[in-house]
């Protein structure tokens, strides 16, 4: 496998491959963390003795279940539901639910594994988990979505609880879906347990800044990384892939910080608007009318739509991949660097392939990996849990300030840890080691469980 993995860790990695055949995204996520851990095991031999790494790579619980539901024509459909409760050393399992046809166990495990370290970096008392289904919400009516969500929660509810496992949204799961699932949970349990799901509506226990949190947080992180280099967003040309929740609020915050975002995308193509994207129009098209990004060009005649285009071919100084895993490959990374890109902040989970990451690190650009850069979403979910526990509701400004403080703290932690372990400026090493050590120490403290 990877030449960067230490010999002792390589044996563990081979065991992961053997125990989890075919789960390529999970293998990739594990390899990416193990590549950073060699100096840690030299300094902390107790982690090897107690088999911390082997234990961290094995989920505490993996739940797979059938989700039957009926469409508007009376046809019955069967989907598969997942919840991987990966690690609870730091707190209850916390991580989103993804509804997308690509979902299978390997995707959920990669996301859950990443979530352990991401949640650790936030400094909040939350463990790592993830879930979802291979259900495709695209093109479904509200009633069909409701019936699916109710069926999904009818099984999942028995595994949840504010002190056990607290899901949120992810791709394909927004406020509407969380609402239907919360309603079903309440109906089955006869409990108004606000802290059992995050990403709720503002009128019934949700938190201000939660929709904006991942995008705002990723932008705050890269803003800090630019400051270290005596740079800022001011006047920078930026690209943001995707046009969902993360992308929209990344674009919004970039504009607030003085940058100009000129392109975004969806699964059909790319929209380029040299004057700067109209974020209010994107919100209307995507969040309200659920239309394709191609329709943007009908409102702005000076914008250009490229069907099936590659957003990373467009020259920029800051790139924020905010769509899905492995969207930037080695070739894309080389193009970005060649075109003058100085910073990459991952709003999505693992959007860059290992080849792409190597290109960014070799070029010494400011590269913020997802587990650090996009931790703002789960951090604000934890803030929502705090408000629920206190039966309280905070203002937008207060919550955004807390989010910014958390992201500044994550950046500093990753930066300092990279320095300490001999890889200055390498946020991948910093994030992996800082996230890992906190969880490992908790696992040592809890004994063999």
pLDDT tens, 369-426?
Answer: 999 999 999 999 999 999 999 999 999 999 999 999 999 999 999 999 999 999 999 9
Number of residues assigned to the chain = 449
Phi, then psi, of 86 in degrees rounded to 5: -85, -50
**Is 419 part of a structural domain of the chain?**
no
Residues (pLDDT < 50) of the chain are 1, 3
- Catalytic pick among 109, 130, 186, 236: 130
Say whether both 117 and 25 belong to one domain: no
Say whether both 144 and 285 belong to one domain: no
> b vs e for 87-99, b when ≥16 Cβ sit within 10 Å of the residue's Cβ?
bbbbbbbbbbbbb
**Is 392 part of a structural domain of the chain?**
no
Looking at residue 6, its pLDDT comes to: 81
Looking at residue 5, its pLDDT comes to: 76
Quote the domain boundaries for residue 346: 212-368
Question: Which tokens sit at 238?
Answer: 């930026």
Model pTM? 0.93
Give the list of residues 6+ apart from residue 20 with CB closer than 8 angstroms, or none. 26, 27, 106, 109
Say whether both 259 and 304 belong to one domain: yes
Say whether both 53 and 64 belong to one domain: no
Distance CA 287, CA 366 (A): 31
Say whether both 50 and 74 belong to one domain: no
Say whether both 354 and 255 belong to one domain: yes
Looking at residue 1, its pLDDT comes to: 43
Say whether both 171 and 228 belong to one domain: no
**Is 157 part of a structural domain of the chain?**
yes
> b vs e for 207-220, b when ≥16 Cβ sit within 10 Å of the residue's Cβ?
bbbbbbbbbbbbbb
Q: Would you give the end-to-end CA distance of the chain in angstroms?
A: 30
CATH of the domain at 226: 3.40.50.720
Say whether both 259 and 303 belong to one domain: yes
Say whether both 129 and 219 belong to one domain: no
Binding site: residue ranges? 94, 115, 118, 169, 214, 245, 381
**Is 274 part of a structural domain of the chain?**
yes
**Is 222 part of a structural domain of the chain?**
yes
Measured CA angle at 91 (ends 89, 93), to 5 deg: 95
Sign of CA dihedral 398, 399, 400, 402: positive
Say whether both 146 and 67 belong to one domain: yes
Binding site for NAD(+): residue ranges? 214, 245
Say whether both 64 and 173 belong to one domain: yes
pLDDT per residue over 228-246, tens digit each? 999 999 999 999 999 999 9
CATH of the domain at 437: 1.10.285.10
**Is 421 part of a structural domain of the chain?**
no
Looking at residue 270, its pLDDT comes to: 98
**Is 203 part of a structural domain of the chain?**
no
Distance CA 107, CA 123 (A): 25
Residue of 163, 91, 173 whose CA lies nearest to 131: 173
Beta bridge partners of residue 264, listed in sequence order:
271
Distance CA 425, CA 364 (A): 8
- What is the number of structural domains in the chain? 3
Distance CA 133, CA 286 (A): 22
130 catalytic, yes or no?
A: yes
Say whether both 53 and 74 belong to one domain: no
Helix (H) or strand (E) holding 433, with range, is helix 427-446
Distance CA 78, CA 49 (A): 45
Q: Torsion angle of alpha carbons 390, 125, 222, 102, nearest 10°?
A: -100
Q: Count the alpha carbons within 13 Å of 137 in the hemisphere toward its beta carbon.
A: 21
């Amino acid at each position: 496998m990877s030449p960067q993995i230490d010999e002792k860790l390589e044996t563990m990695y081979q065991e992961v491959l053997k125990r989890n055949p075919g789960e390529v995204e999970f293998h990739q996520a594990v390899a990416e963390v193990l590549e950073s851990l060699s100096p840690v095991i030299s300094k902390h031999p107790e982690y090897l003795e107690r088999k911390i790494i082997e234990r961290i790579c094995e989920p505490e619980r993996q739940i797979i279940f059938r989700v039957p539901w009926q469409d508007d024509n009376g046809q019955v459909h069967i989907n598969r539901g997942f919840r991987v409760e990966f690690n609870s050393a730091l707190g209850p399992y916390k991580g989103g639910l993804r509804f997308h046809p690509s979902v299978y166990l390997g995707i959920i495990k990669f996301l859950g594994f990443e979530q352990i370290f991401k949640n650790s970096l936030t400094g909040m008392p939350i463990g790592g988990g993830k879930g979802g289904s291979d259900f495709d919400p695209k093109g479904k009516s509200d009633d069909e979505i409701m019936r699916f969500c109710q069926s999904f929660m009818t099984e999942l509810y028995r595994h949840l609880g504010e002190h056990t496992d607290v899901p949120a949204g992810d791709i394909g799961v927004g406020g509407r879906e969380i609402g239907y699932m919360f309603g079903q949970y309440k109906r089955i349990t006869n409990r108004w347990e606000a802290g059992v799901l995050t990403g709720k509506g503002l009128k019934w226990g949700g938190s201000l800044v939660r929709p904006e949190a991942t995008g705002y947080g990723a932008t705050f992180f890269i803003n800090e990384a630019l400051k270290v280099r005596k740079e800022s967003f001011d006047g920078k040309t930026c690209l943001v892939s995707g046009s969902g929740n993360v992308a929209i609020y990344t674009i919004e915050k970039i504009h607030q910080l003085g940058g100009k975002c000129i392109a975004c995308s969806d699964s059909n193509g790319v929209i380029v608007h040299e004057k700067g994207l109209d974020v209010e129009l994107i919100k209307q098209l995507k969040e309200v009318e659920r239309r394709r990004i191609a329709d943007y060009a009908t409102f702005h005649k000076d914008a250009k739509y490229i069907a099936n285009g590659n957003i990373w071919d467009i020259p920029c100084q800051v790139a924020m991949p905010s769509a899905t895993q492995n969207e930037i490959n080695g070739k894309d990374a080389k193009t970005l660097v060649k075109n003058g890109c100085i910073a990459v902040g991952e709003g999505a989970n693992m959007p860059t392939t290992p080849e792409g990451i190597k290109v960014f690190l070799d070029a010494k650009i400011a590269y913020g990996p997802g587990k650090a850069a996009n931790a703002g979403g789960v951090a604000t979910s934890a803030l929502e849990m705090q408000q629920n526990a206190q039966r309280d509701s905070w203002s937008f400004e207060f919550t955004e300030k807390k989010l910014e403080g958390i992201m500044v703290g994550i950046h500093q932690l990753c930066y300092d840890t990279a320095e300490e372990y001999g890889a200055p400026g390498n946020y991948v090493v910093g994030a992996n080691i800082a996230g890992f050590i906190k969880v490992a120490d908790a696992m040592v403290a809890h004994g063999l469980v």
